[in-house]
Amino acid sequence: MNTRSKIAVFGMVALSFAFSGNAAAQQMKEKTVMVGGAAMYPSKNIIENAVNSKDHKTLVAAVKAAGLVETLQSKGPFTVFAPTDAAFAKLPKGTVENLVKPENKAMLTKILTYHVLPGKYSAKQVWAAVKAGNGKAMMKTVQGEQLTFWTKGKDLYVTDAKGNKAKVTIADVNQSNGVIHVIDTVLMP
């Protein structure tokens, strides 16, 4: 290899380190939230972050089975109430396995889109809506039905159409296309 080639190769290697270093430095500057043992980066979209959470493997698999990956990678914005694996485990035995079957895609999609609000709503905004609503706020989901939000002490809760109550355990996990609020119960339309 001649001297020019060595310089060119060295230059390309240096540039690649510079660019990867800039990306890493940018991510280090971001205000991240830890979810399922992984940092959630506001510069990444909902799917790019969710796949890294050890607590959301079931949700990610369900989103894939429902064909909603592309939607949740789009511009949005979306507010997602993301049930943990432990929340899915509270469902009757066999429910998740049955829902992810191709023949149940419509039902799975209905359930998953019931966990999504169009727009980006921080916990502070939901709290303000609850306060303005004298203790509760109703918000329409992407699926079309309502969720009811309320507070108890310092905690924010959401109640579904069947009366199931979910507590927001991690709020305001900002994404490039919205926000995720982690919940401890699966919501049912």
99-132: per-residue pLDDT in tens?
Answer: 999 999 999 999 999 999 999 999 999 999 999 9
Q: Does 10 score more than 60 pLDDT?
A: no
Q: What is the DSSP string of the chain?
A: --HHHHHHHHHHHHHHHHHHHHHHHHHHHS--EEETTEEEPTTS-HHHHHTT-TT-HHHHHHHHHHT-HHHHHSS--EEEEEE-HHHHHTSPTTHHHHHTSGGGHHHHHHHHHTTEEES---HHHHHHHHHHTTS-EEEE-TTSSEEEEEEETTEEEEE-TT--EEEEEEEEEEETTEEEEEESS----
Would you say residue 12 has pLDDT above 50? no
Task: Average the pLDDT over each of 7-11, 133-137, 138-142 and give the range with the smallest value.
Answer: 7-11
Per-residue pLDDT, averaged over 1-20, amounts to: 49
Give CA–CA dist 102/106, Å, rounded: 9
* pLDDT recorded at residue 30: 84
Report percent pLDDT > 90 for the chain: 83
- Contact 50/59 with Cβ under 8 angstroms? yes
Residues contacting 50, CB < 8 A, separation 6+: 56, 59, 60, 63, 72, 82, 180
Cβ within 8 Å of residue 73, ≥6 positions away:
45, 46, 47, 48, 177
Entry pTM: 0.84
Does the pLDDT of residue 160 top 70, yes or no? yes
pLDDT the model gives residue 139: 98
Per residue in 24-81, pLDDT tens?
Answer: 444 457 889 999 999 999 999 999 999 999 999 999 999 999 999 999 999 999 999 9
